[in-house]
Amino acid sequence: MKMSTAPYDLEQQQQHQRSGVAASSQSPRSPSSSTPFLSVSVTDPVKLGNGVQAYISYRVITKTNFPEYQGPEKIVIRRYSDFVWLRDRLFEKYKGIFIPPLPEKSAVGVLKFHMFWFITAEKFRFSAEFIEMRRQALDLFVNRIASHHELQQSEDLRMFLQAEEETMERLRAQETGIFKKPSDLMQIFKDVQSKVSDVVLGKEKPVEESDPDYEKLKHYIFELENHLAEAQKHAYRLVKRHRELGQSLSDFGKAVKLLGASEGNSLGKAFSELGIKSEILSTKLQKEAHQILMNFEEPLKDYVRAVQSIKATIAERANSFRKQCQLAETVKLKEIDLKKMKGKGCIDLKSWQKLSANIMRQLKTESEQATKTFESIVRLMNEEIGRFQEQKTLDMGIAFHEFAKGQARLANDIAGAWRSLLPKLEACSAA
Partner 1 sequence: MMGSENQSSEVSEPTEQMHNLVLHDEHDNDNNDHNGDDPLGIKSYSNYRSAMSTLSDTHHPLADTDPLLSPPSPRRHHFPDTSSYIDPPSYNDAVFSPFNGAASSVDSPSGSSDSPSFSGSRSPTSEYIKITVSNPIKEQENSNSIVPGGNSYVTYLITTRTNVPEFGGNEFGVRRRFRDVVTLSDRLAESYRGFFIPPRPDKSIVESQVMQKQEFVEQRRVALEKYLRRLGAHPVIGKSDEFRVFLQVQGKLPLPTTTDVASRMLDGAARLPKQLMGESVIGPQEVVQPAKGGRDFMRLFKELKQSMANDWGGSKPPVVEEDKEFLEKKERIQELEQQITNASTQAESLVKAQQDMGETMGELGLAFIKLTKFENEEAVMNTQRVRATDMKGLATAAVKASRFYRELNAQTVKHLDTLHEYLGLMLAVHGAFSDRSSALLTVQTLLSELSTLQSRAEKLEAASSRVFGGDKSRMRKLEELQDTIKVTEDAKNVAIREYERIKENNKSELERLDRERRTDFLNMLKGYVVSQVGYAEKIANVWTKVVEDTGGYVKEST
- Residue list 202-221, contact with partner 1 (CB under 8 A): 213, 216-217, 219-220
CA angle 305, 3, 184 (to 5 degrees): 20
Sequence-distant (6+) residues with CB within 8 A of 12 are 5
Reported as half-sphere exposure (CB side, CA atoms, 13 A), residue 232 has a value of: 22
Strands 55-64 and 73-79: antiparallel
CB-nearer residue toward partner 1: 239 or 377: 239
Work out how close the CB of 240 gets to partner 1 at its nearest, in angstroms, rounded to a whole number.
8
Taking the alpha carbons at both ends of the chain, their separation in whole angstroms is: 67
Q: How far is CA 320 from the centre of its chain?
A: 24
Burial class (CB in 10 A: 0-12, 13-18, 19+), 128: exposed
- What residues from 237 to 296 belong to the interface with partner 1 (CB under 8 A)? 237-238, 240-242, 244-245, 247-249, 251-252, 254-256, 258-259, 261-263, 267, 270-271, 274
CB-nearer residue toward partner 1: 341 or 421: 421
- What residues from 15 to 34 belong to the interface with partner 1 (CB under 8 A)? 15
CB-nearer residue toward partner 1: 211 or 244: 244
Length of the chain: 431
Work out how close the CB of 119 gets to partner 1 at its nearest, in angstroms, rounded to a whole number.
16
CB-nearer residue toward partner 1: 183 or 291: 291
- What residues from 44 to 63 belong to the interface with partner 1 (CB under 8 A)? none
CB-nearer residue toward partner 1: 254 or 290: 254
Distance CA 392, CA 3 (A): 10
# of chain residues touching partner 1 (CB under 8 A): 73
CB-nearer residue toward partner 1: 234 or 354: 234
**Piece of 128-136, 166-174, 352-360, 412-420 that binds partner 1 (CB under 8 A):** 412-420
Nearest partner of 221 among 101, 95, 309, 302, judged by Cα: 309
Work out how close the CB of 43 gets to partner 1 at its nearest, in angstroms, rounded to a whole number.
21
CB-nearer residue toward partner 1: 285 or 370: 285
Residue 251: count other Cβ atoms within 10 Å of its Cβ.
Answer: 13
Work out how close the CB of 403 gets to partner 1 at its nearest, in angstroms, rounded to a whole number.
7
Work out how close the CB of 20 gets to partner 1 at its nearest, in angstroms, rounded to a whole number.
14
CB-nearer residue toward partner 1: 48 or 415: 415
In the set 10, 12, 341, 359, which binds partner 1 (CB under 8 A)? 12
Work out how close the CB of 340 gets to partner 1 at its nearest, in angstroms, rounded to a whole number.
49
* Phi, psi at 209, each rounded to 5°: -70, 155
Work out how close the CB of 423 gets to partner 1 at its nearest, in angstroms, rounded to a whole number.
9
Sequence-distant (6+) residues with CB within 8 A of 345 are none
CB-nearer residue toward partner 1: 247 or 353: 247
Burial class (CB in 10 A: 0-12, 13-18, 19+), 207: middle
H/E element, 219: helix 212-263
Work out how close the CB of 85 gets to partner 1 at its nearest, in angstroms, rounded to a whole number.
30
Residues forming a β-bridge with 73: 63
The one-letter amino acid code at 424 reads K
Instruction: Tell me if 131 sits within 8 A of 139, measured CB to CB.
Output: no
Distance CA 144, CA 14 (A): 15
Distance CA 97, CA 118 (A): 36
Give yes or no for residue 228 binding partner 1 (CB under 8 A). yes
Work out how close the CB of 245 gets to partner 1 at its nearest, in angstroms, rounded to a whole number.
4
**Piece of 74-82, 88-96, 173-181, 406-414 that binds partner 1 (CB under 8 A):** 406-414
Work out how close the CB of 256 gets to partner 1 at its nearest, in angstroms, rounded to a whole number.
6
In the set 46, 108, 333, 404, which binds partner 1 (CB under 8 A)? 404
- What residues from 334 to 393 belong to the interface with partner 1 (CB under 8 A)? 386, 389-390, 392-393
Q: Is the dihedral of CA 101, 307, 239, 52 positive or negative?
A: positive
Sequence-distant (6+) residues with CB within 8 A of 17 are 39, 40, 41, 143
CB-nearer residue toward partner 1: 182 or 386: 386
- What residues from 102 to 161 belong to the interface with partner 1 (CB under 8 A)? 112-113
